[in-house]
Structure 1
Amino acid sequence: MNLRLSSFAVFIICLVSSCSTKEKDEVQTVRYPNQDAPLALLMREMFEDMEEIKASIADGVAIKSYVEKHKQLLTATPTDAAVKTEQFNGMGMAYLANLKQLEEGNESDQLENYKALVSTCLACHSNYCPGPIKRINLLKLD
């Protein structure tokens, strides 16, 4: 009887541990809920570009040009087509104007121009797709 009870206990333990492992494998955090939308993919690249710009400014290094690449934000397909409004396009144009000002401006104005660029990102994301705001705040420079 003891052998039978021990075998049953081992079986239950194996069953429980295999179920909990399966649950852990099935539960995944969704980091990028809009991963397939071209605009969402572009926005992730734009964030990485902004990290490079931030590092360049902090290190006193010349900034690469991103205007041509970032212009795609006006034409890239969003997850939700309703996002592409006149307001979205206006904010996109403001972002591109600030990016151009940063890239072509005087070195003495770089920090202020960069801050304006980050502010443009935050303003747009306050109206559209607020999820990345916490991450965009990481781009701020003092």
Structure 2
Amino acid sequence: MKKLFLFILLVAFLVKPVYNLCYLVYYEINVDYITEVFCVNKDKVEMACNGKCHLAKQLQATENTTKEGKAVLSLLDVFLVVFYQATDNFNLPNASEFINEDIPNSYKILYKYNFQSFQFKPPRFVA
């Protein structure tokens, strides 16, 4: 069941890119025909459009249908929140409680930096 669902989801996400890819392949195969029949800029040879204007219109048409929401549902609609669990806020104990606890002597000898013994204060410069 999971594999079927994943396959359907994969196909749903790959439809639009494959559709646009088919337009590009069709354009590459039939460049001469599209240039002669559909090109708007036949008069302007210096633009070297070669039917790209028609290709842009076709790809823009597919974008407009998806933006209107008629062809494809937006991702927000597809992935609605199905499950929500409120988290409880918890408070951490104050760090000073841990620092002020008495440290055993055997540990103090091995540990070189002790919060309680010394606090470094940088020298003051008199201007």
TM class, shorter-length: under 0.3
Higher helix proportion (structure 1 or 2):
1
Pick 1 or 2: higher relative contact order, CA cutoff 8 A, min separation 6: 1
TM-score, scaled relative to structure 2: 0.25
Select the structure of larger CA radius of gyration.
2
